[in-house]
Amino acid sequence: MKRNPLIPYLLIGLLGIALVFFLSVKGLGDAKEIAKEKEGGGEEVATKFEPEAFAKSTCISCHGNNLEGATGPNLHGMGEKLGKDKLKDVLKNGTTGGMPGGLVKAENIDAMADWLMKLK
């Protein structure tokens, strides 16, 4: 008895057509959610600014692993030395010695300056 060699190809083709159909229906359902997000109706996840995490990810490249100074100066005790207003100015505008301005977003400068003031 010989089997028809077209049967496996026919079954694979039907499976493929069924998958395309069902995935298209799924995509149409998701299109409404995507349109809602584009209109601003999606949920926004607000993340809290963590000064220590920011320092570990951004500042250590110049100020060293423990912020003890490397290319940039030692940040321990810098708050007592400069004061909070000067720290905020440096975070916002940078320095002529190499510290770039604008690394910390404007809404996070107060939190970063407070954290630096506590850094002993």
In which residue are the tokens 């975070």 written?
91
Q: Is 117 marked as a binding-site residue?
A: no
Domain extent listing, the chain: 1-44, 51-118
Q: Which portions of the chain are predicted below pLDDT 50?
A: none
Helix axes 84-93, 109-118, angle to 10 degrees: 130
Question: Residue type at 65?
Answer: N
- CATH class given for the domain over 51-118: mainly alpha
Count Cβ neighbours within 10 Å for each residue of 57-80 and write b for 16 or more, e otherwise.
eebeebbbeebeeeebbebbebbe
The CA-based diameter of the chain, rounded to the nearest angstrom, is 95
pLDDT, residue 52, reads 86
Please state, in angstroms and rounded to a whole number, the distance separating the CA atoms of residues 87 and 78: 8
Q: Is 59 marked as a binding-site residue?
A: yes
In which residue are the tokens 């010695």 written?
97
End-to-end, the C-alpha distance of the chain in Å comes to 88
Other beta carbons less than 10 A from residue 53's beta carbon: 10
